[in-house]
Amino acid sequence: MADVKIIDVSPRDGLQNDPNMVSTNDKEKLIKLLLDAGLTSIEVTSFVHPDKVPQMADASEVLKAVAKFEDLKAIALIPNLKGYERAKEHQLTEVNWVSSATETFNQKNIGLTIDENFKQFESLQAIAKKDGIKTCFSIAVSFGCPYEGEVSEENVLDLVKRVKGAGADRIGIADTIGIATPDQVERLMRKVLEITGDTPVAIHLHDTRGLGSANAYAAYQAGVRIFETAVSGIGGCPFAPGAAGNLATEDLVYLFHRMNISTGLDFDKLLDAADYAASLSSKNPLGRIRHVERKQPRGKLA
């Protein structure tokens, strides 16, 4: 059994902000490559308004295309109850409901106050449980906001308490703009885990300032065992100016494998998925390890 769980978000968070449209077939191929590498929990799409995020306009088509993959535990991001109504028509393991730690980002991202958003989530809980679909409540800009600057830990922790009380199946803490430092991550995540108890907690890290791997290790030291990443480090948030890509899945797996922390993933096949993801992106992906590993002989250090 793996020591940590990795959820790859490249088909959704990795592609959502790319100016070049990626076909449904290409997204299906990326998801298949991720599955071949051993990743089963994959955030495959989001049910947001296509005017806001055109790359996700084919959400239904993607989920129909990947329904044949038996090992896939498909996750879809939903911004509201209307999005859930569309999502639940498909074969899903989990929906990811997003809120923010600041009011300004919540308004920019979702068009609701934090309280309005949370009340909708409470309504979702009863519906999703009846439908047999798990819920994750993710808290964006938990370490810093592009509009409000520093974010108080209490803002995050108060929301975590409310989400825990509402019965979310999983809670996500996101460094949406890649502003966090390792000491900040370890301090906040220890406090989060004290509140959540047996509710699984994931951390979602962006590598904007090159601290993604260091922050992931700090989260691991704090007790986090679920990590959301994207192969080749593609991605970015349409509502966070200047936000760069996610922490690269293969970079984190390389780190864990070097430390004898099991991920259950095939590193070579993960590099194949990373190369393909990079080919779909019009930007310069942030992932580092695939460049090194493709150019030198593989030895004990790999």
* Domains defined along the chain, listed by start: 5-293 (3.20.20.70)
Mean of pLDDT values over 279-300 = 77
Check whether 296 has a pLDDT greater than 60: no
Confidence (pTM):
0.95
Q: Under a CB-based contact definition with an 8 Å cutoff, are residues 248 and 34 in contact? A: no
Mean of pLDDT values over 171-191 = 97
Check whether 245 has a pLDDT greater than 70: yes
Q: Under a CB-based contact definition with an 8 Å cutoff, are residues 142 and 156 in contact? A: yes
The whole-angstrom separation of Cα 252 and Cα 277 is: 16
The whole-angstrom separation of Cα 81 and Cα 123 is: 8
pLDDT in tens, 78-114: 999 999 999 999 999 999 999 999 999 999 988 999 9
Catalytic residue among 92, 159, 160, 237: 237
Q: Which residue has the tokens 């993607």?
A: 62
- What was the pLDDT predicted at 73? 98
Give the pLDDT band of residue 56 (cuts 50, 70, 90).
very high
Is 237 labeled as catalytic in the residue annotation?
yes
Residue 121, classified by CB atoms within 10 Å of its CB into exposed (0-12), middle (13-18) or buried (19+), is: buried
pLDDT in tens, 142-161: 999 999 999 999 999 999 99
The whole-angstrom separation of Cα 172 and Cα 239 is: 18
Give the pLDDT band of residue 301 (cuts 50, 70, 90).
very low
The chain-wide mean pLDDT, for the chain, equals 94
- What was the pLDDT predicted at 243? 62
Mean of pLDDT values over 182-211 = 97
- What was the pLDDT predicted at 295? 59
- What was the pLDDT predicted at 298? 52
